[in-house]
Homo-oligomer: A and B are copies of this chain.
Amino acid sequence: MPRRKGRTEVAVLGALSVSPMTGYALRNAIRDVLGHFWSESFGQIYPTLNTLEDQGHVSRASSEAGRTGATHFEVTPTGLSRLKELLGEPIEPPRPRNGLLLRLFFGRHLGRSACMSLLEAARDEAQARLTGFEAIRAEMATEVAAGLTSEVDQTYWTLTISAGEHAARATIAWADESLQTLQKLDGEARP
């Protein structure tokens, strides 16, 4: 019985504050909308919803729209204050665990060409992410035009996309630079 420490609650309450939905839709929304900076595993969402319901922070509003039998969850007023409270809490620093950098650090053991493959993969991945962000920007623009999203929300959401773009471009530049560095490394040793 895992005790949730608030992080999952923020994602759930926040997502529901944008729009009420079922647990299933919630999982998809978190994956699709918050996916580039947040993830929740499937088995977290329903238990968290139940906990939140017990605390009166969300309530079930069964089947207004959508299929019969599906329960749409919505945030209650106390749930909204809880969200604001959680958002105000200090950010706990993530413990870094970058598998790519760990491999490169011990690159002497891994070998030059394997390291270069890793760098190329990282660069391509970052490039793909960059392309994905363009699509998200376009999609958001249409939603704002249609009145589905407020401009204030758009501003905040764009900040997170921009963060992803900056990070991706930095990765690309670093990878290209590093590939050049390793290219030169051959100079002295092995045939």
A contact residues vs B (CB 8 Å cutoff): 7, 10-11, 14, 17, 34-39, 41, 80, 83-84, 87-88, 91-92, 94-110, 114-115, 118, 150, 152-153, 155-160, 162-163, 166-167, 169-171, 173-174, 177-178, 181-182, 185
Contact = CB atoms under 8 A, between A and B. Distances in A.
Contact of A91 (B103, B109, B163, B185): B103
B171 A166 contact: yes
Contact of A38 (B102, B108, B153): B102
17 contacts: A7-B99, A17-B109, A37-B96, A37-B98, A37-B101, A38-B98, A38-B101, A39-B97, A91-B103, A92-B99, A94-B97, A105-B156, A108-B153, A155-B181, A155-B185, A159-B182, A167-B171
Q: Which 9 A-B pairs have the closest CB atoms?
A: A170-B170, A107-B156, A37-B101, A91-B99, A166-B174, A37-B98, A166-B170, A39-B95, A87-B110
B106 A87 contact: yes
Contacts of A91: 99-100, 103, 118
Given A14-B109, A80-B109, A96 B36 contact: yes
Contacts of A182: 155, 159
A181 B167 contact: no
Contacts of A84: 109-110
A103 B96 CA distance: 19
Given A92-B99, A159-B178, 8 more contacts: A39-B97, A80-B109, A101-B163, A104-B160, A107-B156, A108-B150, A162-B178, A166-B173
